[in-house]
Amino acid sequence: MPVTVLLVDDEPLVRMGLRAVLEAQPDIEVVGEAADGAAVVPLVRQLRPEVVAMDVRMPLLDGIEATRAVLRTVDEPPKILVVTTFEDDEYVYEALRAGADGFLLKRARPAEIVHAVRLVAEGESLLFPASVRRLAGRYGAGDRPARTALERARLTEREAEVLRLMSSGLSNAEIADRLVVGAETVKSHVSAVLAKLGARDRTQAVIAAYESGFVEPG
């Protein structure tokens, strides 16, 4: 059965765009739309979507408040994907802290959007949108949303170990030596880590590791 998605955005154009992109996929079904945050909770109760693509800036109730409302009032809440532009980065981190599961850049290409939806639907986090770095310096100490997001990624012990070694700058071959396993094995673990973190390459994974507090600089 397909992944069910609820679109929440005050701009019809954006909703139509997302719908067009997502409906083109056989395994994704858009089950509803909302134009403001206030309508989200009742719609979620009614439609029980697996994923909510949630805009940040909306009338009545913004994406952050709507995210909080959904997670606070709905049993088995859907995954929340925060839809954003570069411009409202400052709001995004609040949404993540409110419990959202990932980012989605409006300017992302269709394939990336589809990928993001599938990822969160599978319970994986989407730690790494290209703009994550721009959030730096805006978190208060102690409440880093990304940390929970990475924890949500549920890395296995081996994968965590590989991520640590990646974060110390080692190549796959070097990691293989260190762990005394084959290079192909390391590749498997690395691929798993990238998928779970929503990272495109090892560099993004390492950044996510730093941003989330998984590793810490001096």
Partner DNA sequence: GAGCGTCTCCCCCGGCCGGGGGAGGCCCGT
Partner DNA sequence: ACGGGCCTCCCCCGGCCGGGGGAGACGCTC
**Contact residues for DNA, defined by CB under 7 A:** 154, 156-159, 171-173, 179, 181-185, 187-191, 194-195, 200-203
Q: Could you say whether residue 202 binds a copy of itself (CB under 8 A)? A: yes
218 binds a copy of itself (CB under 8 A): yes
Instruction: Find the binder of a copy of itself among 8, 58, 135, 176 (CB under 8 A).
Output: 135
CA-CA distance, 7 to 14, in Å (whole number)?
Answer: 9
Binding residue for a copy of itself, selected from 9, 33, 55, 211, defined by CB under 8 A: 211
d(CA 97, CA 213): 15
One-letter-per-residue 3-state SS of 85-106: CHHHHHHHHHHHHCCCCEEEEC
Report which of 87, 86, 122 is spatially closest to residue 101, judged by C-alpha positions: 122
**Both tokens of residue 100?**
């959202």
* Separation between Cα atoms, residue 109 and residue 111, nearest integer Å: 6
Q: Is 51 helix (H, G, I), strand (E, B) or coil?
A: strand
Partner whose binding site includes residue 218, from DNA, a copy of itself, none (CB under 5 to 8 Å by kind)? a copy of itself
Closest CA to 8 of 82, 65, 74: 82
Q: Could you say whether residue 137 binds a copy of itself (CB under 8 A)?
A: yes
Least Å distance, CB 216 to DNA, is 22
199 lies in the binding site for a copy of itself (CB under 8 A): yes
Contact region with a copy of itself (CB under 8 A), list: 2-10, 102-110, 149-157, 166-174: 166-174
Q: Which is nearer to DNA, 85 or 188 (CB)?
A: 188
Is 146 a binding residue for a copy of itself by CB under 8 A? The answer is yes
What is the distance between the alpha carbons of residues 104 and 63, in angstroms, rounded to a whole number? Answer: 13
- Among the listed ranges 58-66, 73-81, 136-144, 183-191, the one in contact with a copy of itself (CB under 8 A) is 136-144
Counting contacts by CB under 8 A, is residue 90 touching a copy of itself?
Answer: no
Site for a copy of itself contains 26 (CB under 8 A): no
The answer to whether residues 129 and 83 touch, using CB atoms and an 8 Å cutoff, is no
CA dihedral 35, 39, 43, 44 (to 10 degrees): 100
CB of 109 to a copy of itself, least distance (A): 12
| Binding residues vs a copy of itself (CB under 8 A) | 93, 128, 130-139, 144-146, 166-171, 174, 199-204, 206-207, 210-213, 215-218
